[in-house]
Structures are given as structure tokens and as C-alpha cells.
Chains A and B, each alone.
Chain A
Amino acid sequence: MKYASLIERSMAAVLVAVLGAAPLAVAHHSFAMYEPTKTLTFKCTVKDFQWTNPHTILWVLVQPPGGGEAQEWSLETTSPGVLTRAGWTRHSLKAGDRVSVTLSPLRDGSHGGSLNSVTLLDTGQTLVPSFGKEQPGLK
């Protein structure tokens, strides 16, 4: 129920059309366009896990409640180097994986967010992007 209501809320928000999309090289940016005080959680399917600098991107397909064509969301997080140190690998997620994701959504309601955590539904494993502690000599 919780997931359903959140999805409905997010789907309503993302009815805002994405206009003017263009293939610009704007990969590196601040994360201030995401709303850190808001959290969305929903189940979806991994389309691709893009393991690239400066930010990795988890592309997922979300099935709208009530049917219809799946919607693509981009969930950004930190760099491969930082994720590696948090225990991730480029194989942590793969196309077709069923997952539950928690994210801070784009403020303008577009289909995107800053990934807070992802849980693989088949195994129950949860992965959290993290810069880790700030101290020398980290293990």
C-alpha cells in the first residue's frame, strides 16, 4: 500500500512533460536539483546500470499503477571510485533485476532522482551509495 500510494503520487508529479531534452555533455553537476527532504520508494526493473564517471546512473523501468507503458527513470549517484569503496561493483546491478529503490526526486517532477538505496528483491541485499567516513586509513 505504501509503495502504491507513493507511486501514484510520483506518477502524478511526473505528468509534467520533459521538454527540450537534448544530448548535451552535462554529466558533471551539483545535486541541488534533487529535493533531499523528499523521499520516494517504489519497485521497478533495472534497465541498465551505467558505471561511468563522474556519476553512475541506475536506469529503471517503472510500471505505472493501472497499466500502460513502463516509464524510464534515471537515478543518479556518486562515481564508480566512491561506490567501489562502499562495496559496489559494476556487476552489483544488472538489466532485468527486480529492485526496490529509494530516492530523492527531481524538484521539477521529471523522471529522475538521486539514489539513496536500492534493494534487490530476489536476494534482499540492500546497497547504499556512500562517501564513507571522513578519516585516514580507511579499511
Chain B
Amino acid sequence: MGIRITCSALIAAMVACSRLAAAPAIAADADPINAPPTAQDWQALAKLPDWSGVWTPVISDQAAQEKSNPPPWQPRIAKQIAHMVAEEEAGRPFPIIDHCFPTGMPSWMLITHNAFEILFTPGRITILGEGDGNRLRRIYTDGRPHPADPDPSFHGHSIGHWEQGTLVVDTVALLPQAYLAVSEAVGVPNNGDMHIVERLHLLGPDTLADDLQITANKVLSKPWRTTRKYYRQRARKYDIAEGVCEQGSFSDAVDKNGNSIFAPIKFHNGVPVGSDSK
């Protein structure tokens, strides 16, 4: 009896093992997995350029390029842009980022006033931004292609690879509503089918450049090439701070039960005009 049980158990175990052995092969074809990184994968990161620290945008260069290298807008878009510029100069800025959605791509890299950091892990690079709670780029460097039918998102689907010390990033699947902006008050939604190729590389020991080529056939007459620069900071006071944009629409308050709550701020024409705070 004991022998029978043992044999039955052995057979069952063999069947289970054969299924387990077969499972990864089936999964690799139909449903890829993220393989656990090896020691070699972690060691390989040490050969990459050192992009540690916090990167702050060169805002003066953003402003200069807004004038010296504007996007090649299609004529009908150029009229909208000219109107926005006039409105901004008149003190009626167009609310590109008022809604607290992520600034998104490529506008984050183009117009941000806030810092970001770049994290290297096996098979992936992650860019985390400051200023709102949704600034997050995942750039897959494990050799995967773009999905056949990716869900559109504010930051799109990004794959990257290294060419010497340059990270080449290819981004698709951006929401048509994601702005192509040259300032916080001037820009238009890309309206769909935008494709971004970036080449990120060090210009000097502590200066990072992002050379962007933006193809947005719904709003641009030809691909737009532009560069943005960022300076490295290592002082700990530059460590990235949590930023939840929506929090700025509320004040601290205490309700009738003594609980700490957020009380909505009253806004008028986009600016705070009253609060029910403590």
C-alpha cells in the first residue's frame, strides 16, 4: 500500500514537473514574463554612464528656444499658437496644465520647471519627476518591442537601448490629448500618432542633454528636432520631494468630528481666491 502510494505520488510529481517544465515555453510565446535579473545583469549596470543625482532643467534655455527654435507648426495650428502667445502676453494664459493631469510627453522634457531623477535597474530605466504626482517614465531596455496595440497614455510606451554613452529612447502610444507645448501657456494637443525619438547623453560631467525628434503629423508640418538641457545636483536639499498636484487645490482643515481633512479652495480664472482652512 505504502509502495503504491509512493509510486502514485511519484507519477503525479513527474506529471506536475513535466507541466511546470513546459509552462515557461508556452508562456514565452503567448505571455512573456519579466525574468528575474541575474548577478551579471546587476553588474552590467556599473558599466553605464553615471546619471545619479537630481537633474534640474535649464529654464532660461527653454525660454530662449521657444523663440529661436519653435516647432514647425502646420498653418492652422500656427494660428492657434499665435493666439495663445497674444493671450499670455495679455495676462490671460491658456490653461495647458491647470487640470493636474500629468504634463506628459514630450512636454515634461520640454517645459518643466521641476527636477527629476533617473534610476537604472536591469532591463529598465525609470525617470521620476517632481512637481506633480504623476511624473513617471518607464523605459524598457530589455530588448522588447513596442506592444502591437498598446493602450495610449500620458507618457506613452518607451523602449530604449544604449549606443556608447547615449540612451536612445523610442516612444509611441501617447494620448492624443497629450500636449506638445513650448511653455506653460502655449501648446496644442498632439491629436494622435505622435512618435518621439530621444537621445539622452552627457554634454559634460554634470550636464545632461535630451535631443528630441518629435513627429506629430496632426499638428507639425515636419519632424521637430530640439534639445533640452539639465544640470546635475548632488546636495541633499535637491532630493526629489513628493508632489501631488491635486493637493494644491485644497487647504488643511478640521471637520466637525475633529478629523483632519482637505477643504476645497475657491478658484477664479485659475487662481486661488478663498479658502475654508483653519
Contact = CB atoms under 8 A, between A and B. Distances in A.
Interface of A: 18-35, 47-48, 50, 52-55, 57, 59, 72, 74, 76, 78-82, 84-85, 95, 106-108, 110-112, 131, 134-139
A25 B97 CA distance: 11
Contact of B98 (A29, A53, A107, A134): A29
A33 B271 contact: yes
B260 to A, nearest CB: 14
B130 A107 contact: no
Contacts of A23: 249, 264-267
Consensus secondary structure, chain B interface: loop
30 contacts: A21-B274, A24-B249, A25-B99, A25-B249, A26-B98, A26-B99, A27-B249, A28-B132, A28-B248, A29-B184, A29-B270, A32-B93, A33-B92, A33-B93, A34-B91, A48-B275, A48-B277, A54-B132, A54-B248, A59-B275, A80-B241, A80-B243, A81-B130, A85-B238, A95-B278, A106-B271, A110-B268, A134-B231, A136-B231, A136-B233
Interface string B121-162: 000000000111100000000000000000000000000000
Chain B residues touching A, range: 35 or more
Given A85-B237, A139-B235, A29 B100 contact: no
Interface of B: 56, 58-60, 88-89, 91-100, 113-115, 130-133, 183-185, 205-207, 231-235, 237-238, 240-252, 264-275, 277-278
Nearest to B268: A21
A48 to B, nearest CB: 5
Given A48-B252, A50-B277, A110 B232 contact: no
